[in-house]
Amino acid sequence: MFALWSALVEGTRAHAIVPLLAFLHLDGLAGDPREIAEAILISLLQVAIIGFLFRPLESMIPAERWPDRRLTRVDRQYTLMMLLGIFPMFSYLVLTPIGNYFGGTGNEAGSDDSLLGITHWIPALAGHPLALFVVYYLIYDLVYYWMHRLQHALPWWWALHSMHHSTRQMSCWTNDRGSLVDGFLQSMVLAGVGLVIGVEPTDFAWLMLIGELVQNFSHANVRVRFGPVLDRVLVSPVFHRLHHMRVDPDRPTLHNCNFGQVFSIWDVVFGTALYGEPIRPTGVGDPMVDADNDKGLVGLHWNAFRRFWGAVRCRAGWRLGDVAFGQDYRPISVKDLDLHALETPVGAHDVRDVRDVRGTHDM
């Protein structure tokens, strides 16, 4: 299996990446062509798993039944664009040169040269790559958890991240729905942590794949949970669907839950885990953000950027807390709003059969 993968990567490098970089006059500037080839193949693998595994599951055991999947189309288009184009190019034309400049990648001596590298402090892990990978992933996932909480708490960042939450039809394609500016910030934070703790480029690519695949599955429109024990450790689709639920005007802080990417244990430890609630419609109550559902790819980003620009330029955009956005795209604290007045009936946009959590499938 590993020999086949290595041969596939090498063939892609030699016959596709190297000629392309030479044609674009980018050879020597974009990192190791083998790493670029591996990243592209990993993206293709991810798309295949989403399309041929997660998508059929949505038809067999849906959490919600929709009369059509119209609102998922833009997410599918965006996922394909991100995974097969923008993300590999951004990672290896931008992040890799930055990492090389600071001495964080392409170092043959290994990751123990970094004073903050894991193997610098625990040299024994250098001889146990699987254990080292697990340690890397725990750190990576913990950083993601706190970054995700900040995305919801800092109004100007929520202005961008809200694009991800605005979808009323959350599916296996929803994970990559997000503002490019938000994606840039996330990538810089996570890649920076990877450089600091000494993650090698190949390991980082697999860290990303595992995290993305888990998130693709956790966003899928399926009635799946992992049971009373594993649900306290790993993020399941039912667990994450509660994170995407529309605001409850009678319990306005209920949706501030379940921030974990792969490990739900962080939510348990830090008191943000929510279990036992029925499956609820997804989306947002804020009409200015909900309007994303009527937009295409360009309109989605333009709306998110207008919210960001309205928030980042005022004091309210820097005060931690839940906000909605006014007609001028400036943030308004939800404490000053009548959430019942903002609430949009589910049936106003689409007819959805929301299944009760008791009908979920344990895996």
126-184: pLDDT as tens digits: 777 778 778 888 988 999 999 999 999 999 999 999 999 999 999 999 998 999 899 88
Residue 354's pLDDT band (cuts 50, 70, 90): very low
Q: Is the pLDDT of residue 98 over 80?
A: no
Residue 226's pLDDT band (cuts 50, 70, 90): very high
Mean pLDDT of 57-79: 93
Q: Is the pLDDT of residue 264 over 50?
A: yes
Predicted pLDDT at 50: 94
Can you give the chain as a three-state secondary structure string? Answer: CHHHHHHHHHHHHHHHHHHHHHHCCCCCCCCCHHHHHHHHHHHHHHHHHHHHHHHHHHHHCCCEECCCCHHHHHHHHHHHHHHHHHHHHHHHHHHHHHHHHCCCCCCCCCHHHCCCCHHHHCHHHHHCHHHHHHHHHHHHHHHHHHHHHHHHHCHHHHHHHHHHHCCCCCCCCHHHCCCHHHHHHHHHHHHHHHHHHCCCHHHHHHHHHHHHHHHHHHCCCCCEECHHHHCCCECCHHHHHHHCECCECCECCCCCCCCCCCECHHHHHCCCCCCCCCCCCECCCCHHHHHHHHCCHHHHHHHHHHHHHHHHCCHHHHCCCCEEECCCCCEEEHHHCCHHHHCCCHHHCCCCEECCHHHCEEC
Predicted pLDDT at 206: 73
Poorest-pLDDT segment among 14-18, 42-46, 106-110, 210-214: 106-110
Residue 328's pLDDT band (cuts 50, 70, 90): very high
10-36: pLDDT as tens digits: 998 888 888 887 887 766 655 678 877
Poorest-pLDDT segment among 3-17, 220-234, 243-257: 3-17
Poorest-pLDDT segment among 98-102, 171-175, 285-289: 98-102
Mean pLDDT of 287-312: 95
86-97: pLDDT as tens digits: 554 555 455 555
How many Cα atoms occupy the beta-carbon half-sphere of 191 within 13 Å? 23
Question: What is the total count of domains within the chain?
Answer: 1
Question: Rounded CA gap, 16 and 140, in Å?
Answer: 31
With b meaning 16 or more CB within 10 Å and e meaning fewer, what string describes 19-33?
Answer: eebeeeeeeeebbbb
Predicted pLDDT at 87: 55
For the entire predicted model, the pTM comes to 0.84
1 or 111, greater pLDDT: 1
Q: Are 153 and 319 in contact (CB under 8 A)?
A: no
Domain with 207 in it = 2-362
Question: Rounded CA gap, 245 and 240, in Å?
Answer: 9
Predicted pLDDT at 220: 97
Predicted pLDDT at 218: 96
Predicted pLDDT at 80: 86
Nearest to 75 by CA among 243, 346, 354, 283: 283
Mean pLDDT of 241-255: 92
Cα angle: 252, vertex 258, 261; to 5 degrees: 145
280 or 349, greater pLDDT: 280
Predicted pLDDT at 132: 79
356 or 71, greater pLDDT: 71
Predicted pLDDT at 95: 55
Q: Is the pLDDT of residue 265 over 80?
A: yes
Predicted pLDDT at 83: 76
Given phi > 0 = left and psi -120 to 50 = alpha, else beta, which region is 25?
left
Q: What mean pLDDT is reported for the chain?
A: 83
Long-range Cβ pairs for the range 178-187 (8 Å, 24+): 179/300, 179/301, 179/304, 179/305, 179/308, 180/86, 180/301, 181/304, 181/305, 181/308, 182/151, 182/157, 182/304, 183/82, 183/87, 184/90, 185/157, 185/160, 186/147, 187/90, 187/91, 187/95
- Residue 26 phi, psi dihedral angles, 5° rounding: -110, 0
Poorest-pLDDT segment among 143-157, 267-281, 334-348: 334-348
Question: Rounded CA gap, 168 and 149, in Å?
Answer: 21
122-138: pLDDT as tens digits: 777 777 777 877 888 89
Mean pLDDT of 276-300: 93
% of residues, the chain, pLDDT over 70: 82
Distance of CA 179 to the CA centre of its chain: 11
Q: Is the pLDDT of residue 288 over 50?
A: yes
Non-local (6+) Cβ contacts of 83 within 8 A are 43, 44, 46, 47, 176
Predicted pLDDT at 357: 44
Question: Rounded CA gap, 242 and 257, in Å?
Answer: 7
